[in-house]
Chain A
């Protein structure tokens, strides 16, 4: 009989869940975390089980991670998101030795070995100007959908240089730039560059070893990926669903902890 494992990643913006069985990804789901992490976790589990027609009792083990892991109301093993992320990427790209994980609240750079164990890491300050939230803030004020920011930004010829390092002031600067005639794509590209600069400073602190992967919601943003690649001078491995990598890793960890028994 197949054992099923659940990985739950309650991020500050989005909650991600994954079910694995026999070492394969069987289902995944993403929903907004909202203000109630408990509810988000419940809904996530429901949706996942619904997708593959399983019930709670079919789940052999659950690992919860992310900012809201402490609020997950059903039995689980908590594991830090850095470890889960490393396992997740290892599952997809075994050759990856460095991960750039761009989440809503922070960015982190993780070094890992061939078994997906974390061998070093560094976490950014909690400043929105260095995380995925910067993109959201700007996208929101420019009334661009998140999914469109990447493609738009890639069209830019003249990225706007921001005069501030703060996401909030950056927001008003973006508004003024538009009012003064700057193109939306140039502003987006400017933010991508600003973010890539911060990320590259983080990378310098732990060092980079190729292959280098990019995960987290930031991995959905082609504009950011290109900006980081240009800055670091290497190609990024980006999984098809970068946002669920940490949840996938959590499921893998769930399997590992139970695997032997």
Chain B
């Protein structure tokens, strides 16, 4: 009997960033790749996968199970299973911070609150109708200000006097920001104000789930130290951020793949898998 290759891949086809993670059976991270989802990449999830495989030095056939998650999960043709980003993030968070019960994830297109019990997702809230309060808000503003996303955090930490932006709508806030700048308001105060706005929205949403400290903060926006600080202030408590907050969903996906396989093996069931062939993915649901 041929031994199963024990590598697992998780692909998180997010609205903004596509993340791929490959782990081995010991939950060791063999490779991680991130790439802008961007319009043209939306159809090309396979490229990112290819890159991750190359980095891990593995042929695709060696991957025992592929789980796709994220906004575009439905259309990753080579995935063995699609699992929602809620479950995947929870799994990722549980592995990174065992015992944690509340998590906040702010990505490009939504913000989510997760409630965990014994390492499993038990409840959640989600905000995905309006770009205000999501990573997209910060992207738009960064673009307006001609700043890199990565700069926003450290810049805002310099502010002693965050200004509040009166427009909630991302589009109008963008314009308000330019006006404020021309009024001579320091850049860092504006950025800090925006971070506060995002944080207070997110924490407001998170409150719908009785918050039990400590809170883990993941998703691309958790890379922004300014938002992290604002979330911490808003919660009035400690906030844990993983070293690599972007990949918690992809990591969770890979781990879930492992779980699925193990469970099946324990029951002696065979698992149905896709052909290991990279193909184009589209972003919108095919009708």
Q: B140 contacts which chain A residues (CB < 8 A)?
A: 168
B136 touching A169 by the CB < 8 A rule? Answer: yes
CA–CA, A149 to B172, complex, Å? 21
Given A36-B182, A169-B109, is A128 in contact with B170 using a C-beta cutoff of 8 Å?
Answer: yes
Q: A1 on the interface (CB 8 Å rule)?
A: no
Q: B179 on the interface (CB 8 Å rule)?
A: yes
B181 touching A180 by the CB < 8 A rule? Answer: no
Given A166-B130, A179-B39, is A133 in contact with B171 using a C-beta cutoff of 8 Å?
Answer: yes
A137-149 CB contact bits vs B (8 Å, 1 = yes)? 1000000000000
Nearest B residue to A134 via CB reads B171
Which of A34, A126, A137, A176 is within 8 Å of B283, CB to CB? Answer: A176
Nearest B residue to A168 via CB reads B131
B172 touching A105 by the CB < 8 A rule? Answer: yes
Given A166-B130, A176-B39, A180-B284, is A128 in contact with B109 using a C-beta cutoff of 8 Å?
Answer: no
Q: B282 contacts which chain A residues (CB < 8 A)?
A: 180
* CB neighbors of B among A108-125 (8 A): none
Q: A167 on the interface (CB 8 Å rule)?
A: yes
Q: A80 on the interface (CB 8 Å rule)?
A: no
B238-262 CB contact bits vs A (8 Å, 1 = yes)? 0000000000000000000000000
B131 touching A169 by the CB < 8 A rule? Answer: yes
Given A126-B168, A128-B169, is A176 in contact with B284 using a C-beta cutoff of 8 Å?
Answer: yes
B155-182 CB contact bits vs A (8 Å, 1 = yes)? 0000000000001111110010011011
CA–CA, A128 to B131, complex, Å? 11
CA–CA, A78 to B206, complex, Å? 43
Question: How many residues on the A side are at the interface (Cβ–Cβ under 8 A)?
Answer: 23
A35 touching B178 by the CB < 8 A rule? Answer: yes
Q: Distance (Å) between the CB of A124 and the closest chain B CB?
A: 11
Q: How many A-B residue pairs have CB under 8 A?
A: 59
A128 touching B39 by the CB < 8 A rule? Answer: no
* CB neighbors of B among A173-211 (8 A): 175-176, 178-180
Q: A52 on the interface (CB 8 Å rule)?
A: no
Q: Distance (Å) between the CB of B37 and the closest chain A CB?
A: 9
Q: B269 on the interface (CB 8 Å rule)?
A: no
Q: A127 on the interface (CB 8 Å rule)?
A: yes
Given A35-B178, A165-B129, A166-B131, is A126 in contact with B172 using a C-beta cutoff of 8 Å?
Answer: yes
B40 touching A126 by the CB < 8 A rule? Answer: no
Q: A12 on the interface (CB 8 Å rule)?
A: yes
B169 touching A127 by the CB < 8 A rule? Answer: yes
Given A35-B182, A179-B39, is A166 in contact with B172 using a C-beta cutoff of 8 Å?
Answer: no
- Going nearest first, the 7 A-B pairs with the smallest beta carbon separation are A128-B171, A168-B131, A35-B182, A179-B39, A175-B39, A35-B179, A168-B170
Given contacts A126-B168, A168-B131, A180-B282, 4 further A-B contacts (CB under 8 A): A35-B178, A168-B137, A168-B170, A180-B43
Residues of B bordering A, CB below 8 Å: 15, 39-40, 42-43, 109, 129-131, 136-137, 140, 167-172, 175, 178-179, 181-182, 282-284
* Complex A-B: 9 CB contacts under 8 Å: A36-B182, A128-B170, A164-B129, A167-B171, A169-B136, A178-B39, A179-B39, A180-B283, A180-B284
